[in-house]
Amino acid sequence: MSEPPPTAVPIVRARSAREWEALGVACPSCHAPLDDAVGPALRCTGCGREYPVTLGIPDLRLLGDPYLSTAEDVTAATTLAGRDDGRSFGELYASYYEGNAKVPPEQVARFTHGVLAAADRAQATLQTWKELDAPMPTTGTLLDLGCGTAPLGVALACSGYSVVGVDAGLRWLVLARKRAAEQGIDLPVVCANAEHLPLRAASCTAVVGESVLENVADADAVVRESRRVLGPRGVLALTTPNRHSVGPDPHLGLLAGGWRSNATLQAHALRSGQVMPRRRLFTPAELTRTLRHGGFEDVRLSLPQFAGAQVSGLAAPLRLAIGAYHLIRRIPLVRSIVLQIAPAISVVARST
Ligand SMILES: [Zn+2]
């Protein structure tokens, strides 16, 4: 007899206000509980604000998305959900760029390769954090901050953790639901800004985030909010590109992009037909300082591992360089020197 198929998880599923509250979800403005007395929308029982629920995802954003208006984001998310007709996660992701003249096919192929490789990268990231002696708490809610299509959240949920994904792009959350559904996971996701987290104080035991701190409008506010939702002795684990990296720029591909002026990067983006990212890159020292100012201690940095799927598509010289990097990252003294110019930084810290 063959194995029964895994239970199908729909990408659109509504949750009640009570279910959201059990996960720690609250008003992003005043942090009071939300109710659903006004129908599908959620209403704050404190300040009275009303928040729409779109495709089962509460839209608790207080700020706009830097790349799309809220109306455009809702349209994009609804279009994606409508295309969930047997396509795989990767196919659904690539379809987002259909008809978008601003993003050339080569960039779509690079983005799609990136999101598919992200599942592998998430495992490598979790392994790096573990090496920093930061095991994920086995109780409570883990917040996947700026989850995007949620490779990290899905990897953690597959390991049995209770995860909530938060991202400012509704369209990415539809894709996060799809990535999770393919693994049989019904991942709770909420649309919100990382600077105004829709969670009660001390409602999470860990906040994890990959490639998020460099993309937010106000990284200091995000660190303070992470501290608030963690309460004392919570785990913060992040991975972010290194501004002083001498490798390819994480967004534009140009070598040592973090060392170059904005004007040079803009000119390169224009010349190569790429979208100029809005970002703030950190050096290891800047990252440490930002976390300490935001209420964290015991800040430990390391060199993130590369996953096999990230390396396989690269040119031979880069593959060799990454092989050497994997050897070096095991030698403590050399590691701390290489960290200064490495492509990315992994960090774990404890809230005070
Ligand atoms: Zn409120």
Tens-of-pLDDT digits for all 352 residues of the chain? 444 445 589 999 999 999 999 999 999 999 999 999 887 899 999 999 999 999 999 999 999 777 789 999 999 999 999 999 889 999 999 999 987 877 888 888 988 988 999 999 999 999 999 988 877 898 999 999 999 999 999 999 999 999 999 999 999 999 999 999 999 999 999 999 999 999 999 999 999 999 999 999 999 999 999 999 998 999 999 999 999 998 888 888 888 888 999 899 999 988 988 888 888 999 999 999 999 999 999 999 999 888 887 787 788 888 888 888 888 888 888 888 989 999 999 999 999 9
Place of tokens 């998305």: 65
Neighbours of 51 (CB within 10 A): 23
User: ∠183-34-189 over CA atoms, to 5°?
Assistant: 20
Place of tokens 């534009």: 252
pLDDT of residue 336: 87
pLDDT of residue 2: 45
- Residues contacting residue 132 through CB under 8 Å, at least 6 positions apart: 300, 302, 346, 348
How far, in Å, is the centroid of ligand 1 from the Cα of 71? 23
**What residues does each domain of the chain span?**
17-243+281-351
pLDDT of residue 6: 53
How far, in Å, is the centroid of ligand 1 from the Cα of 43? 8
Whether the CA torsion 242, 115, 212, 127 is positive or negative: it is negative
The enclosing H or E element of 43 equals strand 42-44
Q: Parallel, antiparallel, or unpaired for β 344-351 and 296-302?
A: antiparallel
Alpha-helix residue ranges (DSSP H) falling in 203-283: 219-230, 262-271
How far, in Å, is the centroid of ligand 1 from the Cα of 224? 19
How far, in Å, is the centroid of ligand 1 from the Cα of 254? 44
Joined together, the tokens standing for residue 143 give 């917040």
CB burial string 279-317: b at 16+ within 10 A, e below: bbbbbbebbbebbeebbbeebbbbbbbbbebbeeeeeee
How far, in Å, is the centroid of ligand 1 from the Cα of 29? 5
Classify domain 17-243+281-351 at the CATH class level: alpha beta
pLDDT of residue 205: 96
How far, in Å, is the centroid of ligand 1 from the Cα of 68? 25
